[in-house]
Amino acid sequence: MRHQRSPKASIAEERKAPSFPIRELTYWLDGGKDVTELKERIMLELERDPLWRVSDHPNLTLAETRERAMKKIRRLADQATSRPLEETMVRMGIISVVDPGFWTRFGVHFGLFFGALQGQATPAQLAYWMERGAFTMQGVTGCFGMTELGHGSNVAGLETMATYDQNTDEFVVHSPTLTATKWWIGGAAHTATHCAVYAQLIVGGKRYGTKTFVVQLRDTKTFELMPGVNIGDLGKKMGRDQIDNGWIRFTHVRIPRSHMLMKHTKVLRSGEVIEPPLAQLAYGALIQGRVSMVSDSANVAKRALTIATRYAGVRRQFSDGTANALETKLLDYPIHQHRLLPLMAQTFAMVFAAREMTVNYQQLMAQLSDLGEAKGAAADDAIKNLKETHATSAGLKAFCTWMCLNIIDQCRQSLGGHGYSAYTGLSQAYSDFAVHCTWEGDNTILTLQCGRYLVATALEARKGQPLPANLAYLQGAVSKSGA
């Protein structure tokens, strides 16, 4: 009988003599000892809370999955409003890996709906919605109504209309065509009471482009649909069934003029439209989703590689033929190392890219916040940074999400036949993550946007304009000879 060794003993063997200080490296990657200890405390809380168990996920029905997600929302909403913001952000980062479907459900309200209020409402408007429970989810549960059946990446082409009625001081929100139906709207099917609706602003018969309007979908007490609002459930999806994606159609729905978010473009009672001198600055807040997905890619890839590497450290196949000899660990085969270690290197590259991208985005938002109504050199510099951050986030979002999806599948394959089991967590991880390649901008379109920016920047540099610091590598391309 061939000698065997338990999985625990095998993995302990791998860990007993590392060539680097594991704990110190962990502190450095997390951003400090305090952050690591906070993460470990939160992980222990989740591990011991039956509400966060994941072992039975493959066996839950669609209804059971959504019901459990709603229980988690209540739990997390209470924690988010009672704990320090820094702790909440760390907790959300962990949950995005543990239960990405729930994270999306929760994030639709706090990240997208509330994020739209923060980025596009005036201080008075933000205070108004805060008083009505937009932050605590006590009275207002929001969703984000941008995508339509006929338009996704082409935001300027959205068909939903918001026409100003000066006689009543209201906007009339209307879906004029079938393709104007809001589509894939997370939280709309059963739970959202309000929606941040992206629609064409029309005043006095003139179009002023796509703006954001808060439209009530359901009565907050009876939960009945509001007059003129039709909603349907889009049903089961490839992944992330915790969120109730739905469609919305508006039929001449009237909302107060004050429900248009007016931090940038303003519509007065008289019907006068005041547009900002730099309208494109309003889109700075929309970059946030792409920035977060660079971090998501790194975190989800780390999870997949943790599963695959631990498995390779305990799974044994074949021996040298010596009697009673242990079979060889998968991790000891050079060909298996070649499968996993390059993916690990890619993942660490994503970790550091995500850090840099996040810092750049935060600096941009601070610059835009301080800009106010300023013009001249300050405004020109803000536009330059906005374009650079937009292009960088577009390129990294596409590259990292594609890379992560490949890493998940390569890890699944490295488990051999066991990788096909739903209980490894990798098949569900693939299904849950695949949407990253198409939401917040189709990856192919985003790569074109990034490429267009690079070409335009190189052409401007040939005319004497300075290159941004992170594009210094283009210096050779901007010379006349291209050398």
- Annotated catalytic residues are 440
| Residue-by-residue DSSP string for 143-179 | EEE--BSS-SS-GGG---EEEEETTTTEEEEE--SGG
Give the H/E segment covering residue 457.
helix 443-462
Residue 87, both tokens = 């702790």
| Other CB atoms within 10 A of residue 235 CB | 11
CB 215 within 8 A of CB 195: yes
The amino acid that residue 189 corresponds to is A
How many CB atoms sit inside 10 A of residue 380's CB?
A: 11
**Residue 247 and residue 158: Cα distance in Å, rounded?**
15
CA distances from 204 to 159, 163, 234, 265 (A): 18, 8, 36, 15
C-alpha to C-alpha distance for 286 and 293, rounded to whole angstroms: 13
How far apart, in whole angstroms, are the C-alpha atoms of residue 250 and residue 215? 10
How far apart CA 390 and CA 384 sit, in angstroms, is 10
Beta bridge partners of 230: 249
Q: Which residues contact 294 (CB under 8 A, 6 or more apart)?
A: 350, 353, 354, 357, 358, 393, 396, 397, 400
HSE of 141 in the Cβ direction (CA atoms, 13 Å)? 21
Is there a contact between 231 and 246 (Cβ–Cβ < 8 Å)?
Answer: yes
User: What are the residues facing 225 on neighbouring strands?
Assistant: 218
- Please give the single-letter amino acid code of residue 194: H
User: Which alpha helices (H) appear in 238-375, and where do they start and end?
Assistant: 288-314, 334-371
Choose among 176, 166, 258, 167: nearest CA to 203.
Answer: 166
Q: Using alpha carbons, select from 245, 191, 223, 244 the residue that is nearest to residue 63.
A: 244
In this structure, are residues 118 and 126 in contact, taking their beta carbons and an 8 Å threshold?
A: yes
Q: How many CA atoms lie within 13 A of 49 on its CB side?
A: 15
Contact status, residue 379 vs residue 371, Cβ threshold 8 Å:
yes
Q: What is the rounded distance in angstroms from the CA atom of residue 302 to the CA atom of residue 299?
A: 5
Give the 3-state secondary structure of residue 184: strand
Alpha-carbon distances of 28 from 17, 35, 67, 74, 144, rounded to whole Å: 20, 10, 38, 33, 36
